[in-house]
Structures are given as structure tokens and as C-alpha cells.
């Protein structure tokens, strides 16, 4: 059946007829029809057709009991979660079915049952969820996947019973310390504690001893990419190194993750390393080189990720007197197919990276951008040249002014007007210079239309 027919609004009676239309001779066709009917129910809940779909609750319970198909079970759980989030009390009749799945030997069914319990804000459901989670944590043998689901479920339960979840903090901390054979479960406990403290500002700041941080970092080879990313993210705010040796050792472990194919891992590794660098007086040249190479690699990613990296580069350039990355300015030159937000951010980077040695190359680029067919880009480039004249001093100012005068010769109205607007700031910075240049601009008086240019 096409998605269009599934995502149409139905009345309860129309779907009920499909659920009850069972042909024993055509069992396969009947099963398919029932599954399609169940999909229609979920689609109608997505469309907000709650009033009609709630009427099918008895039919859902009926098929839940007789069907062993995991897809059907999954749809039944999804139905109860959706209805339960709107009318929690109306789903109490589904509790026996949920508990039966929870006690099943099938791990998938247990996870479905637990996810359903924690998603319904009603005491009977949350109580059973807590009981199941505590029993899982106390078992000696529990599958990692099920235990991780139980640990992460506490974040959802925190919305319904905060005090009880916080009361389990010690258990989570014990898991971080003791579950050495299950590093993935350790990370789940760490991420949960980190998130709980982040959500609840009244709690004491969550911190990890350095030795436990080392233990967790040593598990990186055994972790999947998402657990690795979570670990590095959490360590940024939970561990405080006590010696320079600790800092360099942690950096050495994390720096290998900068080249990870998963961008989340590499970005969190970069964040962790930059955090650690705050605890040393001198940065090793090899660290600077490896950081710089990683940043260059990240600039080859998609536009969205590239933007995130560029914004972080700007923060690094603004907040540190001694740069901890050394990237050639050419990496910030604008490409014709860059989105506008990338172009703007690269312009900021070029402005921040400009100095006596890089200025000639940057001015050449900005001059090209100033003649771009994109008028907004052109204006921003002209303004950047003017700002550099104010920022860098006398010699640089001469070069910037020469570039502006050269651009004015083209006689493009909006370029000339932008040049005049920025020139007033140059004259304010250097009041005894460039008086002859002011006379040059008088011949453009007829093309000046914009208020800012006239005022300038």
C-alpha cells in the first residue's frame, strides 16, 4: 500500500473492519491486511486523529495478545506510548501486556516494554519501570543493550520522579567504577549522570577523579563511535587534571581521535584537547601541528559541519593570545559555491588572521570579492578592507587605502558608496593622512544615493 493511502485520515470503523477481516484460507494476505491497518492507526496518531484512534484500544489489546510478530508488537507499544502521553490513565488496561513483554526472554520485547513504561507519566507505569531497572542493575548477568536502555531510561523518569532518580546516582557511579568488563555500560552511566547534573543546576557539580578518567579513556578502542563521542563530551566538564603530566597524557590519548571518520568524535576530541590546554603554560609544537592538521581535515566536511568548525576557530582566535592552531589563510578563501553563512564566517576568519605577513594575500582575495556579482558579498568585502586599515596600523593602512582607491576606479555605484562609508572610519583613525584621497571621492558625488554614504 502506498504511503499516501496509509497517511490518510480514517474513522475507527474503517480500520476496525480491516483488523477483523480474517481469511483462514489466505492467512498471509490477512496478516498483511492487519499490519497495514495497524500502520494506518500509527499514521493517524501522527496526523493528530486521536479521538478516532482511541476507540481502537480494545482491538489493539486483542492483537497484542495473539500476535508474536515483532513488527505488530512494536506498533502496539507505539500506540500505547502515544495514547499514554495524552491520556495516561486510559492505558492502564495495557499494563498486563506490557509486563508480559517485559518478562519475556526476548531482549527486543523487554526493551519495547521498558521504553513504553517510562514514556507514560502515570505512577503505575513509572513504579514498574523503577522496579525493573533496579532488578536489572542488581543482576549479575544482563545483556549490555538492555542494561544501557535501562540506564538511559532514568533520564526520562527524571521528569516524573526526580528525587528517586537522583537517589540512584550512587548506583550509576558504582557502574562507572566497577563495570570494567562492560565499557559501553560505563559510558551509559557516565552520560546519564552528566545529563542529570546538567539538567538540574541545583545539584553539586559532577566530577570524576583523574584515575577513573584514565580508565575510561583506555576503553576507547572497545567503544563504538557514539560512546566515544559521549565519553569525550562528558570529560570536558567532569575531570580536572592535577598535573601537567596528566594533561599531556590525556591529550596524547584524545589526539588520536581527531582523525576519526565520525565528525562528532573528532569535534568532541578537539573540544576536550582545547579544554585540557587551559591547564598548561606551554603548548608543545607537535600538539599544535596535529591540531592544525585535524582542523584542516574538518574543513573538508559538509557545509554545516564546516560552519561549526569555523565558528570554533573564531573563538580560538579571539580568546587566546598565543594561537594553538596554525592554519594557512588560503583555507579560508571563499569558494564560489560556498553558502552565504560560510562566506560570512570565512570573511571573519580572514579578518582575524590578517597581519603584516598575510595582508597582501588577504587583500588580493578581498579585492576579488569586492567585484563579485553578489552585491552583499561585495559590500562585506569592501567593509573588511576598511576595517583592516583601522586594525593593523600605518603601513597596512596605506595598502588597504590603495586597494580601496583601485576599486573605486571601476565606478560601480554600490562599491563606491561602500568605500566612502568605510573611509570615514579610516580618517577618524588617521586624521592627518589621506586628505588628498578625500578630494578624489568628490567626483563620485552624483552616484551617491544611500544615506550612510551621504553622511560619510
Q: What is the pLDDT of residue 151?
A: 92
What's the confidence (pLDDT) of residue 326? 84
So what's the pLDDT on residue 295? 84
Burial string for 305-317 (b: 16+ CB within 10 Å, else e) reads: bbbbbbebbeebb
Residue 20 confidence (pLDDT):
67
364 burial level (CB within 10 Å; 0-12, 13-18, 19+):
exposed
In this predicted structure, what is the pLDDT of residue 1?
45
- Helix, strand, or coil here: 366? helix
User: Is 0.95 surpassed by the pTM of this model?
Assistant: no
pLDDT at 304: 87
For residue 21, what are the contacts with CB-CB under 8 A and spacing of at least 6?
30, 33
Q: Which residues contact 343 (CB under 8 A, 6 or more apart)?
A: 334, 377
pLDDT at residue number 25: 42
Q: Which three cell numbers stand for residue 131?
A: 522496579
Closest C-alpha to 248, from 283, 199, 208: 283
Q: What does each C-alpha distance from 237 to 45, 168, 233 come to in angstroms?
A: 40, 21, 8
Tens-level pLDDT at each residue, the chain (456 residues): 445 566 677 788 877 877 765 443 444 456 677 778 888 888 888 888 888 888 888 888 887 877 777 888 888 899 899 888 888 888 889 999 999 988 888 899 999 999 999 999 888 999 999 999 988 888 767 788 999 999 999 999 998 888 899 988 888 998 898 877 789 999 999 999 999 988 887 888 888 999 999 999 999 999 999 999 999 999 998 999 988 889 889 998 998 898 888 888 988 998 898 889 888 877 778 888 888 888 888 888 888 888 988 888 888 887 777 778 888 899 999 888 889 999 999 999 999 888 888 999 999 999 899 888 888 888 899 899 989 988 888 888 888 888 888 888 877 778 888 888 888 888 888 887 777 777 777 776 766 667 777 666
Q: Looking at residue 24, what is its pLDDT? A: 38
User: What are the grid coordinates assigned to 421, written together?
Assistant: 562609508
Q: Is there a contact between 264 and 227 (Cβ–Cβ < 8 Å)? A: no
Please provide the DSSP assignment of 213-238 as one string.
HHHHHHTGGGS-HHHHHHHHHHHHHH
Per-residue model confidence (pLDDT) at position 140: 66
The pLDDT of residue 444: 67
- Mutual orientation of helices 123-138 and 144-157 as an angle, nearest 10°? 140
Amino acid at each position: 500500500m502506498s504511503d499516501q493511502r496509509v497517511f490518510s485520515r480514517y474513522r475507527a470503523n474503517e480500520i476496525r473492519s480491516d483488523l477483523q477481516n480474517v481469511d483462514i484460507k489466505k492467512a498471509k494476505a490477512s496478516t498483511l491486511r492487519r499490519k497495514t491497518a495497524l500502520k494506518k492507526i500509527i499514521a493517524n496518531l501522527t496526523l493528530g486523529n486521536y479521538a478516532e484512534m482511541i476507540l481502537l484500544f480494545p482491538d489493539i489489546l486483542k492483537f497484542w495478545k495473539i500476535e508474536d510478530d515483532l513488527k505488530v508488537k512494536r506498533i502496539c507499544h507505539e500506540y500505547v506510548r502515544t495514547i499514554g502521553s495524552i491520556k495516561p490513565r486510559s492505558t492502564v488496561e495495557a499494563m498486563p501486556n506490557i509486563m508480559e513483554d517485559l518478562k519475556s526472554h526476548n531482549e527486543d520485547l523487554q526493551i519495547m516494554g521498558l521504553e513504553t513504561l517510562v514514556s507514560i507519566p502515570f505512577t503505575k507505569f513509572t513504579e514498574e519501570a523503577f522496579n525493573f531497572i533496579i532488578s536489572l542493575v542488581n543482576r549479575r548477568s544482563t545483556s549490555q543493550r538492555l542494561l544501557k536502555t535501562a540506564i538511559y531510561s532514568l533520564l526520562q523518569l527524571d521528569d516524573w520522579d526526580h528525587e528517586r532518580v537522583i537517589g540512584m546516582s550512587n548506583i550509576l557511579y558504582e557502574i562507572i567504577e566497577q563495570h570494567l568488563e562492560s565499557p559501553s555500560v560505563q559510558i551509559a552511566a557516565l552520560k546519564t549522570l552528566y545529563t542529570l547534573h546538567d539538567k538540574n543546576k541545583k545539584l553539586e557539580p559532577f566530577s570524576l577523579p583523574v584515575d577513573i578518567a584514565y580508565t575510561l579513556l583506555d576503553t576507547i578502542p572497545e567503544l563504538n563511535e557514539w560512546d566515544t563521542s559521549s565519553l569525550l563530551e562528558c570529560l570536558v566538564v567532569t575531570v580536572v587534571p592535577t598535573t601537567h603530566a596528566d594533561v599531556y597524557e590525556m591529550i596524547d590519548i584524545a589526539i588520536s581521535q581527531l582523525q576519526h571518520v565520525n565528525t562528532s568524535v573528532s569535534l568532541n576530541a578537539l573540544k576536550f584537547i582545547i579544554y585540557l590546554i587551559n591547564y598548561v603554560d606551554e603548548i608543545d609544537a607537535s600538539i599544535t601541528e596535529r591540531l592544525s592538521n585535524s582542523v584542516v581535515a574538518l574543513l573538508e566536511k559538509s557545509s554545516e559541519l564546516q560552519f561549526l568548525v569555523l565558528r570554533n576557530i573564531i573563538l580560538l582566535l579571539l580568546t587566546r593570545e598565543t594561537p594553538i592552531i596554525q592554519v594557512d589563510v588560503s583555507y579560508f578563501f571563499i569558494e564560489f559555491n560556498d553558502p552565504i553563512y560560510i562566506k560570512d564566517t570565512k570573511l571573519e576568519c580572514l579578518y582575524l588572521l590578517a597581519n603584516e605577513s598575510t595582508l597582501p594575500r588577504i587583500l588580493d582575495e578581498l579585492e576579488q570579492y569586492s567585484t563579485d556579482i553578489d552585491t552583499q558579498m561585495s559590500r562585506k568585502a569592501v567593509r573588511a578592507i576598511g576595517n583592516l586599515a583601522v586594525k593593523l596600523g600605518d603601513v597596512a593602512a596605506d595598502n588597504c587605502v590603495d586597494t580601496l582607491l583601485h576599486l573605486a576606479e571601476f565606478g560601480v555605484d554600490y562599491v563606491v558608496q561602500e568605500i566612502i562609508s568605510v573611509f570615514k572610519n579610516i580618517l577618524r583613525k588617521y586624521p592627518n593622512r589621506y586628505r588628498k584621497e578625500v578630494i578624489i571621492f568628490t567626483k563620485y558625488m552624483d552616484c551617491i544615493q544611500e544615506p550612510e554614504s551621504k553622511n560619510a
